[in-house]
Amino acid sequence: MERALRLLGGCNATIRHGFAQAAYLPGLDEIRLPWPRQFTSPEAQCATALHELVHWTGHPDRLNRSLGRRFGDAAYAFEELVAELGSAFVIGHCGLVDATVEGHAAYIDAWLQVLREDRTAIFTAARLAEDAFALIVAREMPEVDGLATAAAQ
């Protein structure tokens, strides 16, 4: 959990809470999340935030991916595949191996359609996910040794 928070903090993304569902809004360049109590666990909250952070990397000022316009179109489905793979990389990096991004069963059919239409799409999505992962990890806030001890004094 700590490493996930260091990744989120290091990227300095605008993250707002109190929404019905998680989303990244490219036009506002912000991540929106439900309140923490609405997730099944703190790990699921972190996994979902990290998934949205992968979307955040696609902004024109960062990696400049085509994010798609609406649920159901091919570009949107492809970006969701990139974000799902990228968040799996980041979640694994954090050691949150049992954490899952909530509410993504609806995307499976769209991913399969993209993969059926282009058999190389998985390789492109994996490459873009790796780029997103590298950007996020490069911005990770460092551990500060002795911080807890200093705060307690």
pLDDT, one tens digit per residue, over 14-37 is 999 999 999 999 999 999 999 999
* Helix axis angle, 74-94 to 121-138, nearest 10°: 50
DSSP β-bridge partners for residue 23: 32
110 found inside a domain: yes
31 found inside a domain: no
CA 23 to chain centre: 10
Residues 43, 2: Cα–Cα separation, whole Å: 11
17 found inside a domain: no
92 found inside a domain: yes
In this model, does residue 148 exceed pLDDT 70?
no
27 found inside a domain: no
121 found inside a domain: yes
Residues 113, 28: Cα–Cα separation, whole Å: 29
Question: 78 or 138: whose pLDDT is higher?
Answer: 138
153 found inside a domain: no
What is the rounded average pLDDT for all residues in the chain? 88
Q: Is the dihedral of CA 123, 45, 140, 91 positive or negative?
A: negative
Q: Considering its fold, how many domains does the chain have in total?
A: 1
Instruction: Check: CB of residue 78 under 8 Å from CB of residue 122.
Output: no
Q: Give the pLDDT confidence score for residue 147 in this predicted structure.
A: 55
Stated pTM of the model = 0.87
Tokens of 52: 């949205």
Q: Which residues constitute the domain of residue 7?
A: 2-11+40-142
Q: Give the pLDDT confidence score for residue 99 in this predicted structure.
A: 80
